[in-house]
Structure 1
């Protein structure tokens, strides 16, 4: 049977200061556009005010890194001055539901940020998200069903809405884990893929778990992915005792925790030179790859792998 999950769709880096996060990722060699933040008029005739959560994407060929931060109503603190305000549009009868979902998401992000600043979102990619949902349910993995949201995308012909179909798995203690339909190729030409560091894709997420719990987590992720977890998969699982063997000098801020992600690049020498020019320290993983330590990257180690 063909595998319905073979790669990552995106990882989400939850931060407390979006302006600082964007500046960091640009120093890391990514093209990151200004963030978007939803807004709603507090009363009729008033100007829309930001609320909920702001996010920005470092788009790659088949995946992306999402930078996301909770936003207090009417408060632009921590957002860069060029943040794009997106007025919320929804039928009056659906507005309360939309608002409650956005507020719940913002509260969840704030809780994660209080736990630690870093990676809290892990989404896999599927060409058939409905089929994946059925497989997960048959395997006893509870989830909230397939939902559809619209993502505003700037195109040469104006802003268009890209439909995004996804499901979220219930009860993953490491954060938001789920499956998203493959990126729509009709929108690929709108994405900025020419990163100074040459980044092409997010190819791995590293999940660190308490010692002794690795077999249980491995079995859980095998059900998520529909196959045995291997070193070739999109997620690497390791016990806390083994973290420093892979990433020297690193320590998990909490357990379980997504501690790192890996970016595929064509020229590691180019990355090394760029990071040196940016003044960012680098180390080597046990596999001989470069990585920027978590303490220098807002709580999430960033690994660069030459392909």
Structure 2
């Protein structure tokens, strides 16, 4: 049994003329199956010598009637002029020349990638311009659809992530005030202590308590108390920055962490907030409600060196503000270390 021939041996054994003929017969069939348009023109005159069935169908003329005619006779003037200009460019280029054509023809939008090459002369002494046209419209449409689908997927992922954050955020917020819960406050306080310890910077902590309700608020009961809580939450959110943390600790007490803020600045800001609370107009069923708050302000590390000591200093300052009758801001004592 003889061994199979190597491709190089086959190529050497084959007649070059017969190989060229075989490829010349095979290539149009391959292009036909792919739906690719093929045309051969007289390079000098621009008139068709041959077209395949796909090109004839695209031109809308029987293939037998196309040889000898030019684009000017088959297409509109603007398109024919543009194609002839591209062909003249290809005639001046060595090898295969690639170009793209986008236009509307017979009610459809086309996006062709065209390869042009000059061959010959043929047996009549003519130079021939061979063109292979491949319509990219469908592929580009698929690419656009894929890109749009990916963009929609990314948008959906962003929306899902936003929803996840919102749900997570809601689980950390008090429904009555919109402020963070005590659990979040304690976690944020630990982070702030760690950050300030590492970077040697201060921050302030404020404890806030609603003063005893007025007789009108007590008479109106829970709805009035709920309206006041809404007002407190709104004021705290409006008077703190994104880097700060405003929290509701329990029924009538709150806490604020002021990142990177010293004792004096914290006192000034909280004094402004106290005045806003005292003058805030809150109405329920046509009746105006009033409320005031007491505040205790401490700072890390000036009034305390540990988280527990900071909380104790804040609580002591708050009790002093309440002892003074409420509607007051009291500073914690600054820690003194003897040399």
TM-score, normalized by length of structure 2?
0.18
Structure with bigger helix share is 2
Q: Which has the higher contact order (CA 8 A, sep 6+)?
A: 1
